[in-house]
Each structure stands twice: as structure tokens, then as C-alpha cells.
Amino acid sequence: MAATSPEKRHAAQVVRVLERCYPQAACALHHENPLQLLIATILSAQCTDERVNQVTRSLFCQFPAAADYAAAPIAQLERAIQSTGFFRNKARHIQACCRVLVERYGGEVPACLDDLVTLPGVGRKTANVVLGTAFGLPTGVVVDTHVTRIARRLGLTRATAAEKIEQDLMAVLPRKAWIAFSHRVIEHGRQICKARTPRCADCQLHRLCPRLGVPA
């Protein structure tokens, strides 16, 4: 269903406030190129960005190219990422992903959503992170736990599934705001709109927020 004009106006107001509050918000995962961002995003599943950044500091030195991940003994890769949790699955996905990058794309990360989501361990969220942050391409809206929680509280969606939340946000947000929106909402979630103890009295969005589902 297409978004209504009032829904789009509400979303535009939210975008303006977030832009004013978090003008410098950016991806929290440290990286210097698309491959590093892709690896870091895979590692960030069920893991904090802080922990991922600690791990990738040495990981990226050990494995500077896709071919290095592809050729590494799997046990070595598992040890390098163990503290991120679910390390066996992540190591398997990273190695399989990098083998495809080497075999199909010359070791480079493709700047195409349809190509990225065919890579092992890469779903739409990861693809959106890489395309938006590394390539500046607004292919969608990154939906993590912060975006899920805050978009629902603000009444931008009533969905619970990430795919449907993304569709709802894409319908109400201007395309040019898709990339920065997620970065700013994530920062807002970390600082103000926390899961258990939201700081509503300190929130610049309080006049726009219906506080749907906010704990009493």
C-alpha cells in the first residue's frame, strides 16, 4: 500500500530533526574499503560494533584481500574471529563469500544489490550497509534492532519483520535520506531512545513521537 501524504510529512519531519541532532552520524564499523566493510558487517551479527572493531584491527592485517580469506585454513580464520560469537558459521560464510568474490568478481566487492545478495552469508541488510556506506548507493534502508525499535515507536511502521519495516520506511522516506537515516537512528538509539529506559524527556523528537510501545 502506498504511503499517504500525512505519513510522508511525518517522516520528513523526523528526518529533519535527526539531521539536526546527528549531522555527523556514520557507520560505526571501522573499514577502509568495501571488502573490509563487508567482512565487518558479517561479523556484526549478534555482536557489538565495538567488539567487531577490536577484532578487525588485527584481522584486516592478517587478511588484506579476498584471496587471503579464501585460501586460509578455516581453523585460523575461526581463531581470529572467535570473540565475535557464532564464529564457526561466520568463518564459513566469510570464506565461502570471498571464494565467490575471487572466482566471479576478481576479488572485488560488486556494487550491485542483486549480486551481493547471492554471496554466502550476505542478506539484504548487509548488502544495504555495503552499498550505502562504501559506494554511496541508496538501495534500501538498513534495518537493525535500533531502527526496528525506533521506527515503530515513531509510528513509521507497525511491522515486526525487518523486510516489511524496510518496505514501509522506503515508502515514506525520501530516497536521498535512506543511507543517513539508519546511521542517525542508530546513534539516537544508543544515546536517547534506548530499549528499556528511553530518555523521552531529553528527546528532540518527543513532539513528533506517539511513543508506540514505549514502556510506561
Q: Which residues carry out catalysis? A: 125, 144
Decide: residue 97, CB within 10 A, 0-12 exposed, 13-18 middle, 19+ buried: buried
Largest Cα–Cα distance of the chain, in whole Å?
Answer: 55
- In this structure, which amino acid lies at residue 104? R
Between helix 87-105 and helix 34-43 the angle, nearest 10°, is 150
For residue 193, what is its C-alpha cell?
531512545
User: With b meaning 16 or more CB within 10 Å and e meaning fewer, what string describes 57-90?
Assistant: eebbeebeebeebbebeeeebbebbeebeebeeb
